[in-house]
Amino acid sequence: MLSLAFGFDAERTLPELDHTRWTLADGAPGQIGAIAQTADGYLWLASGTSLYRFDGVRFVRYAQPSGYPAGVVSSLLGDANGQLWVGFALGGIALIRPDGLRPFGPADGLPGGIVYSLARDRAGGIWAATGAGLVRWDGARWQSGAEFGFTASNVHAVFVARDGAVWASANGKLFCLSPTSKRFEPIAVAVGWIARFAQSPDGALWIAERDDGSVRPIVAADGELIAAQSNGQSGATGLVFDRSGALWFSTPGDGVHRIARPHERLASGSSEKYTEQDGLTADYTTTLFEDRTGIVWIGTSAGLDRFRTSPLVRAALPSGTYNLALAAGGDGSIWIGSANRPVMRLHDRTLTRAGMPPPVGVAHTDRDGVVWMGGPAGIWRSANDKLEKVTELPVPASADLRVRMLVHDSAGRLWVAIERHGLFQYHGGKWIALAAPTENPLHAFPVIGSIDAQGRVWLGYRDNLLMRIDADGAMRRWTPAEGVDIGHVTSIAHGAGRTWIGGLRGLAYVEDDRVVRVRIANSEDVSGVHGLIESEKGELWAHANAGLLRFPAAEIARAVVAPDSAVTARLIRGISLLTADPVMIRPLPTAVADQKGRLWLSTNRGAVWLDSAQLDATSAAPAAHLETLVVDDVSYPIDGSATLPPRPARVTFGFTALDAHAPEHVRFRYRLDGYDQNWQETGTLRHATYTGLAPGEYRIQVVAANADGPWSQVPASAAFHVRPAFVQTKTFLALCMAAVALLLWALYRIRLRILAARLEFALEQRHTERERIARELHDTLLQGFYALQLRFHSAAMALDASLPARASIEQALDQADEVLAETRDRVTQLRTGSIIDLPEALRMMGQSLFTEHGVQFGFRQEGVASRLRPFVSEEIYLIAREALINALQHAKPQRVEVVLEQGRRKFRLIVRDDGCGLPDDILMHGARTGHWGIPGMHERARRIRARLHIRRRAEGGSEVELSAAASVLARYEPGM
């Protein structure tokens, strides 16, 4: 089993570091002259007249405020307040702050000339080395170097040491302002043009001399001055110590150099070199910078390079070596066979040839630590640091002969699988061909083999077949019927009490001769498993098509205890040495563990080993940053103060996360409060776009996670406001409501006019009909009655006056006169038309009815008379007339009174008399049988939606009351 117990290796060589490059084709600037980092984690790159901000993925050019002239940037400094100081080649300094840019020039006390370098002291002051002298910004003004006893010009470099001392060089001289002094003192060390200062971890002060100089220390760790010494270099443009204490320096034309132990190797000139031939963007390197995470950045004439300690370390193999077969020797060495190179042995970073010619198809380490390898050249085994040939293969040699599997068991037997020939066993100098386990052509030979702790041989075949051969020769077979459903069995590993098997379609284990399939939550990553190793901590490592997967011990324990539960594997992404490999069929296995507990992998970029301590350092979630807010191609501040215009068509948020280990694989999700209900995942995309945002208050929130880690807990957020358009305001809504109300009122008025026109037409038709009826009554009925009356009168006159018949006829003629008079009145009413003045009509009717009969009549009007519709007035008039006639004919009153009450809310008409009162049958039934006067009154009242009450008065007599709401009478429509 594998024991992962190792830490950071400070002795890694340059080829063992992870190198990434960005050129002009990737959007990187060229001619990078200065690099700095601000407190938020961004890198800033100075390139000619441009300044770029870099988040590890995108290069964003800094947009200077309008009106501020651009210039060649010569120096950069990021301070602890998140600000960036920018020095220009033509003179002047600018301070870039979150709220904008502040320039400094001669008016601020800043001298002219190129700004070579910038440094920040313990008190927060900013020192600037310029062509016109040394100056310091104290937060309010630029102090001249003369205030500190420094009067020299052409100051090329300034540096603040860890003890607070300020170092500066000018005109080939060196000066120092100690923390306890107020004046610079000259230092008796001869120097040239110092390009950069740097301080080693032990406190020694080093310089890089630009022209005809060298990289060397000038002050030892104990403070003693060091005499000039040459290291054979031709000058340097940059200088930096990394966290391991290694010294890096850039050169004008010779790439970048690194010295792991500078005090030991500097005198001999021994250094590692990385040039354009090795993959550097250019040999002309201009500047070096180590960021807060220990990554070294190099600016060159053609782009940007990054060197960092990666969890995976690449072995320094000859270029072009491919199809690696790996085996771990018992002495801590790694044996490497390949398709195109002789077998190599790597031990303590020393690579030697081991003797076996290529190609090598398989490698195996037996339980005694002996390495075995097989290929067309036969079977070989290790002896000390070389390989010795054991035997030829049992089949004729050919160009396409491939050995696919080789294991050596505890009985001294070799088990060898040869493609297209089958499985063979070698023992005692003899080869024995073994029969295939089934007739399936895919089972002609195994593709993977292994020996467990009990010395049993395990063989994995294509198409779901696993076999085990015990020491006594007993065989055990597992097929799909026994639970093997992972496709081709391509990897086998033995752990605590179980055997793991991996294949093209997943992972399973064998325990107590029972196969259990492992359910995996991220199953799409666990396919094509070509290497398996279980560590002593209970972790399971799987090398699959997607990369390297790590199953934590807790997940493995859960998979064993609860097989139905899904476990999660951590996919190690974002490591350039471990790209997504193609489906590898040979050589197998692709993962082995050496005697130091390191995990070695065969990849399509060579052999690499895993530094698990460095891997654990890559798990922290990166912090998200909101960068831009662009609305319809116009940028707005992202500080929470943005007010967007009405009806924005397209709102785009740009964001990023500063992850030092794998920024290109950082994942994002966002949520717009006020719009989204849930988080939206965007993968590695670094922008989000919304369309058609309504007016209101919003807040954008963004969180990030590295390739396989948790989401950051604190989101980056910013609030903003979308102004409403005029048509989206309450004022516009109120105007719309008013317009709708006005339209409804206008429609109402139009309808009233239409109804009025209909009413006038109906009244006109009614009036015409009344005239026709009156005319017909006059011309027919009345004329006929007159003729009859004349004839009866003539007949009466012909009779003797003393005859009783004449008296009867005369009485009938008198009654006929009354009927004719009443009929004439009806005809007159039909002719007169609508009642226009209701109170006057009621008064005149009452006086004409009761005066001639000697009955006292009274009329009283209360309230303000309102004009009613003609038909309503007529119906009220007829109801009142019927009530008055009934009182006259049936009540025998002494006095009759009419009261008319009119108001804005209520209308009431009352007819009272002091006669004999209403008979009981009328009170009970409302009318006498066969009489239609009172029913007619009720019908007329219902037609105008009024209420009619006829009751007996307590003091004697009767009372008729007609009442209705004034608004109902006013809204009366014909036909209701």
Q: Domains, the chain, ranges and CATH? A: 624-728 (2.60.40.10), 835-976 (3.30.565.10)
Q: For residue 186, what pLDDT band results from cuts at 50, 70 and 90?
A: very high
Q: Quote the pLDDT of residue 597.
A: 80
Q: Quote the pLDDT of residue 310.
A: 78
User: 21 pLDDT exceeds 90?
Assistant: yes
Mean model confidence pLDDT for the chain: 85
CA distances from 214 to 6, 173, 176, 188, 266 (A): 37, 16, 21, 18, 10
Q: For residue 765, what pLDDT band results from cuts at 50, 70 and 90?
A: confident
Q: Under a CB-based contact definition with an 8 Å cutoff, are residues 344 and 352 in contact?
A: yes
User: 973 pLDDT exceeds 60?
Assistant: no
Q: What is the DSSP string of 928-947?
A: -TT--HHHHHHHHHHHTT-E
Q: What average pLDDT does the segment 513-538 reach?
A: 88
Q: What's the pLDDT tens digit per position in 430-477?
A: 999 999 999 999 999 999 999 999 999 999 999 999 999 998 889 999
Query: What percent of the chain clears pLDDT 90, i.e. is strictly above it?
Result: 45
Beta-carbon contacts of residue 829 (< 8 Å; ≥ 6 apart)? none
Q: Side chain identity at 565, as an amino acid letter?
A: S
Q: For residue 3, what pLDDT band results from cuts at 50, 70 and 90?
A: very low
Q: What average pLDDT does the segment 711-715 reach?
A: 87
Buried b (16+ CB within 10 A) or exposed e, 740-761: eeeeeeeeeeeeeeeeeeebee
Of 889 and 608, more confident: 608
- Strands 895-902 and 856-863 come out as parallel
Name which of 520, 477, 476, 475 is nearest 502 in CA terms. 520
Please give the Cα distance from 705 to 708 (Å, whole number): 7
β-pair partners for 912: 897, 959
Q: For residue 582, what pLDDT band results from cuts at 50, 70 and 90?
A: very low
Please give the Cα distance from 199 to 205 (Å, whole number): 5
My answer on whether omega of the bond before 217 falls inside 30° of 0, hence cis, is: no
Q: What average pLDDT does the segment 295-305 reach?
A: 94
How is residue 888 written in tokens? Answer: 């006259």
User: 620 pLDDT exceeds 70?
Assistant: no
Q: Quote the pLDDT of residue 975.
A: 43
Q: Quote the pLDDT of residue 260.
A: 83
- Left, alpha or beta for 72 (phi > 0: left; psi -120 to 50: alpha)? beta
Q: What's the pLDDT tens digit per position in 634-658?
A: 989 888 888 999 999 999 999 998 8
Q: What's the pLDDT tens digit per position in 34-62?
A: 999 998 889 999 987 789 999 989 999 88
Query: What percent of the chain clears pLDDT 70, i.e. is strictly above it?
Result: 88
Beta-carbon contacts of residue 296 (< 8 Å; ≥ 6 apart)? 240, 242, 248, 288, 289, 290, 306, 307, 308
Of 785 and 238, more confident: 238
In total, the chain counts a number of residues equal to 976
- Angle, vertex CA 746, rays to CA 744 and CA 749, nearest 5: 110
Indicate the burial class of 7 (C-beta count within 10 angstroms; 0-12, 13-18, 19 or more).
exposed
User: 580 pLDDT exceeds 50?
Assistant: no
Q: What average pLDDT does the segment 200-215 reach?
A: 85
Q: Quote the pLDDT of residue 225.
A: 87
β-pair partners for 492: 501
Indicate the burial class of 336 (C-beta count within 10 angstroms; 0-12, 13-18, 19 or more).
buried
User: 834 pLDDT exceeds 60?
Assistant: no
Tally: H helices and E strands in the chain: 11, 69
Indicate the burial class of 55 (C-beta count within 10 angstroms; 0-12, 13-18, 19 or more).
buried
Name which of 259, 263, 227 is nearest 246 in CA terms. 259
